[in-house]
Structures are given as C-alpha cells and as structure tokens.
Amino acid sequence: MQPFIPFSRPTVSDVEIEELVDSLKSGWITTGPKVSEFEKHILEYTGAEFAAATFSCTAALQLACKALALGPGDEVIMPTYTFTASAQVVANCGATPVFVDVEPSSSFLMDLDEVEAKITPATKAVMPVHYAGNPVDMDRLYAITKPRGIKVIEDAAHAIGSSYKGKMIGSHGSDAICFSFYATKNLSTAEGGMLLSNDADLAKKVKQLSMYGISDSREIWNSRYSKAGSWFYDVEFIGEKANMTDLSAALGIHQLARLDESNATRARYAKIYMDGINVPGVEFLSVRPDSECCWHLFPLLLPEGVDRDDVISQLKERNIGTSVLFRPLHLHTAYRNLLNTKEGDFPRSEALFHRLINLPISPSISDNDVNYIVENVNDLLCPK
C-alpha cells in the first residue's frame, strides 16, 4: 500500500545536524558568528549588498516597514492573494494595506495595471509577492514606482533561488527584499527570515531594530561578551526582538549549499506534473520566459465546476496530502472589518481560490511518489 505522501516535509541532512551540534558545543547559541556567516553566504548567492537575518520573514517585513517610517496616513499596495503577514505588518505600523487583484493569467501575481490605477498621494510603498517563487515583472513595477518615489518591499517568502531576467531575486534594486526560511520553505532554518537591500543604512537599521534598537546589538558576541568587550550599550531606536539565532543559521548554511540541487528536483517534479496530468480544463502556474521559478509550490487549478474540497478529501483517501494555503485577504474577518471589503471585490483572486489545490513538490518525496500523484489525479478527474 502507498504510504501517505505529506504535502511538505523539510529535508535535513547529517551535515546540518553536525553544524547544529557544533553550535551547541561552542557555547554561543543566539545571534553570533554563524548568523554573520549565513548572511554572507546569502549575499554571495543572491548578489545583494547588505543583509539582516531575522526570526521570520514576517519580522523582516515588519522591520522594513518600520525602517522606512511607514505609519498612519500611508498606503501600501499589495495583492489580496497572499498570506496575512504581508498586510499584517503594514496594519501593525498604522498604515493601510490597499489590495489589488491577480493578473488574468494563471501567474498568481498581482495585476500591475491595477497597481498603477490605485496609486494615490498617500501611496508610500508597493509590496509585490512572488507566489510559489514565480517572479513579478520587476522592471514594469519599477517603471511604475520609481518615478513617483514609491518604495518597493518584496515579499519574497517563496522565492529563494528564483531569478528574473538572469538575476537572482534579491538583487534587483528594491528597497527591501524579505525571504522566509520557515520549516516548509525551499531553504529552512526551522524558523527564520532575512532582509536584503542595497541600502546600507536601511539594512543596518533593520539589524539594530531586530535587537530592541540597541547600538552594536548584532555584534554582542564580539563587542560585549568577548574579553575585549564592554558592558555598555545604548538604545538608539525603539525596536523589537526579532533576531536570528546561531542555531537557526547553522541549519541555513548547509541548506543553502544544496539549494540549487533541491530546486532542480522541484523543477523536475513540476515538469512531471505538467507533462503527466492530462485533464481537460486544468491550468498550471504560468511563468514568463524571462523568469525562473524555484517551485516552492505546485499550484493546480482544477476545471471549472469541480468541487475542490471533495478532490482534496479523495486524494487524502489515496494517501496524498495537499493544501490550499491562501484564502484571499479581503475575505478574512480582520480585513473585512479594517478595510470594509466584501466577497466579489476581487473576482479573479476568488476564482483562483475556489479552484486551487497545491500538490506535494518537496525533495523529501520521490519520483515514484510524484508519478503516483499524477496517476491518481488523472484517475480521479478523468475516471474511465
């Protein structure tokens, strides 16, 4: 009998375990030298100039908003088809999330025509979301934002290893780019995130804000607790507690070392799905020719009229785990109350949501698992 195939399971090798044990034995387990090393490796990998490791992508986004001084009266445009963290960090700063619909295609990306149409004098930033690792058209977005002096904060939670026009996501010149290293992500530190920027002052401020706003806070392991260090510190800004630990970075260093191999496996599985699933009316993620997707997710749009929840239940009976993940934000109670949104406001996002399932694509599964999923999707949706 086919064992249950989980939707997403992290892969941890012996080398990560050894690095983690080394950190535990070192006597330094919070933010320290391994966080600095991990930041350096991420910069080398992406081509960005400055990095600030954080406890989560949500924390990185929150600190980016804070460092850019977003607050009451400011608006930040973003897709409604995203996780709550994107809008939550804006609302927590006192600014207002402004939602736009997704493109008419199956890209799952925000409609840049709507972005341009919704700009007002209060618009201070735009937050593109690279759903499933599928890059937003950044040149078009910059053409909209830069002449107007509007900041760009990339929610790149899904996109470590994706590229746009031959350059890695993280290196295209946005004010801030925020990655997630959560347990299910392509690169996992269990919990973790990172902000990248080409603005040295912004990255430095985010590092400081991530440790209460304390001066030299990210060098505690060297400047305060070494033999040559000093106990004195100053709180220069009102910050938060959002730093990454060396224990997390120990995992990330080696997860990054095999990220390209892992993403290649995801891309191969995506091709098996697209070549093998032969169901009239299904749609796959649409990726532009100028981009490479890291395939954090494999979204499958079911034919119109198919009961999505019934398909999920039947696949589970066949030992196949799936997920939906995002319900459009404008449908959630908190955002209905905050923004007075309602069903029907963003019809394309709602249509995607009602047709969507995400199939397993983690390298923790096998080719046989993927082929089994293809066979059962075809059998379930095109019964003989």
Instruction: Provide the annotated active-site residues.
Output: 185
Q: Tally DSSP H helices, then E strands, for the chain.
A: 13, 13
* Pairwise CA distance, residues 294 & 274, whole Å: 15
Q: How many CA atoms lie within 13 A of 7 on its CB side?
A: 18
What are the tokens at 145? 């934002």
Which conformational region is residue 245 in: left (phi greater than 0), alpha (psi within -120 to 50 degrees), or beta?
beta
* Pairwise CA distance, residues 326 & 356, whole Å: 9
Residues 242, 33 contacting (CB under 8 angstroms):
no
What are the tokens at 287? 């990726």
DSSP 296: S
Q: For the chain, what's the residue count? A: 384
What are the tokens at 87? 């809008």
Beta-carbon count within 10 A of 199 CB: 17
Residues 159, 296 contacting (CB under 8 angstroms):
yes
* Pairwise CA distance, residues 246 & 257, whole Å: 17
